[in-house]
Amino acid sequence: MRILLAAVLVAAGVLVGATVPAVSGLVRDLLASAGWPPPAFTPAARHAEGDGHGHDHGEPAHGEAGKGHAHSGPEGEEDHVRMTPEQVEGQGIGVAKAEAGTLFRHILVPGTITPDADRIARVPARVAGTVSEMRKRLGDDVAKGEIVAVLDSREVADAKSEYLTASVKADLERINFERQQKLLASRSASEAAFQNARAVFLENQLRVDLARQKLSALGLDATEVAAAQKRDEAAPTTSSLRQYELRSPLTGRIVERKVDVGTAVGKEGDPADLYTVADLSTVWIELSVPTSELAKVREGASVTVTPRREGGERHERGKVIFVSPLLNAETRAARVVVALPNAGLSWRPGTYVTAEVEIAQDRVPVRVPKTALQTVDGKRVVFVRTPEGFEKREVGLGRSDDDAFEAASGLEPGEEIAVANSFLLKAELKKSEADHDH
């Protein structure tokens, strides 16, 4: 009978407690006196039962729920980094406008430094003789026209003597011709004597011209030869008749010395040159470009050169000056020549280099420096300047070069973005997200 009564009370209590929350306490007391555990009630009943005022002591009151996860700003605030202009400047965050620009595409090819063929010359022994002076050492700097060596030459002595003799005879015959001309005018000489003096004078004048041309062929100046002869007459113990001065054909540096004092030169079997002079202020780079890339290389293209064994730290810009229309039969590659400035003489002929040859220029509506891009949650983003700080903006990337990307979407021309130290904004954004999670 007691069990039946308890069952009835439980059923009634559940039914009434669900509709009249205030009765649930009486039902619990009756069940407890009967030795039954209190029944579970619905969440609505528990909430209503709380403290008699509609609050459950086990849950936070209305208005306090989620207090630890509340956002400090509007929706999307997690994509913003608040920062004052002073903070931007203090952290060295560089800002620039995203604008249209040019992307430069390149290919990498190996190359070898060589002397500029237009800036290298030899000092030849243009006459047969013996080296009497070597005035320059290996490595010395020389100026164009500077005397670098002196030869003792019988051939030169003969050419000078012939010119000097012809000049003296021409002067004498000129005096005789002028005298006969005056005598003819005063009728003191015959026409035949005058014509004979005139013919002899012209003949000797022709011999002077021929002797002068011979000196010129040897690289000698007739005026200087005559002046040297007068100096020799003033100092009988010296003679420059046999001396032949060799001069540098260009300004540069002695890079090769082939003979010593006393060496016979100029004849068959003798050394033909005394020095090699090179102007290394500009050098060439010989590139070997494969046929698959040859059509992309054009004369005038910009080239960036980096040493192959020095970590790539040093580089210089040059220009393509020649693209050969012929292919090497063995390598099936074309010869490409690059002119490279070498003001510090640091690029030595024979050095192996890597050349980055520009092959195209692409104009893009929005060019974004690589320093502006960051990766957040696997997406490429930039930080766009706002009045409050910066906004994280996902961008779609297109073409690229070594320094920048094309922003195909997500960014408009003229918008200001962080282009330096943007990683600080990424770190600040991550820090803010971590604070929100806690």
Q: Are strands 80-82 and 404-409 parallel, antiparallel or unpaired?
A: unpaired
C-alpha 304, offset from chain centre: 4
Distance, CA of 199 to CA of 144 (rounded, Å): 43
Structure tokens at 110: 């190996």
Burial of 33 (0-12, 13-18, 19+ CB in 10 A): exposed
Token pair of 192 as six digits: 């035949």
Residue 216, token pair as written in the block = 């010129």
Count the neighbouring beta carbons within 10 Å of the beta carbon of residue 222. 19
pTM: 0.56
Do 273 and 258 contact (CB within 8 A), yes or no? yes
Predicted pLDDT at 359: 86
Q: Is the Cβ–Cβ distance between 303 and 108 less than 8 Å?
A: no
Cα separation of 273 and 153, whole Å?
Answer: 15
CB atoms within 10 A of CB 138: 11
Q: What is the pLDDT of residue 310?
A: 54
Those residues whose C-beta lies under 8 Å from the C-beta of residue 326, and which sit 6 or more positions away, are: 334, 335
- Indicate the DSSP class of residue 279: -
Q: What is the CA radius of gyration of the chain?
A: 50
Cβ-count burial 44-61 (b if 16+ within 10 Å, e if not): eeeebbeeeeeeeeeeee
296: tokens are 């992309």
3-state secondary structure of 419: strand
Structure tokens at 166: 């012809």
Contact 301, 357 (CB under 8 A): yes
Sign of CA dihedral 416, 420, 422, 428: negative
DSSP three-state, residue 191: helix
Write the CB contacts of 75 (distance below 8 Å, at least 6 apart in sequence): none
| Residue found by looking up tokens 């164009």 in the block | 144
Q: How far apart are the first and last CA of the chain?
A: 58
What is the per-residue pLDDT for 291? 84
DSSP H or E stretch at residue 434: helix 422-437
Per-residue confidence in pLDDT tens, the chain, 438 aa: 444 444 444 444 444 444 444 444 544 554 444 454 554 443 333 333 444 444 444 443 333 333 333 333 344 567 888 888 998 888 899 999 999 998 888 888 999 999 999 999 999 988 899 999 999 999 999 999 999 999 999 999 899 989 888 888 888 888 888 888 888 787 777 888 888 888 988 888 899 999 999 888 888 888 888 888 888 777 766 678 888 999 999 999 999 999 999 999 988 889 989 999 999 999 999 998 888 888 889 999 999 998 876 554 668 899 999 998 888 778 778 889 999 999 888 899 999 999 999 888 888 999 999 999 999 888 999 999 999 899 999 999 998 887 899 999 999 999 999 999 889 888 888 887 766 665
The amino acid sitting at 321 is I
Q: 111: which 2 tokens? A: 């190359």
Half-sphere exposure of 302 (CA within 13 A, CB side): 9
Confidence (pLDDT) at 431: 81
Query: Partners of 96 in the beta sheet?
Result: 417
Alpha-carbon distance of 21 to 145, in angstroms, equals 119
Question: What order do you get walking across the sheet with 243-247 strand by strand?
Answer: 243-247, 147-152, 129-134, 264-265
Task: Give the angle 332-338-291 at the CA atoms, nearest 5°.
Answer: 20
Give me the pLDDT at residue 121, please: 94
Two tokens, residue 53: 């005022």
Decide: 338 and 305 in contact? Cβ < 8 Å. yes
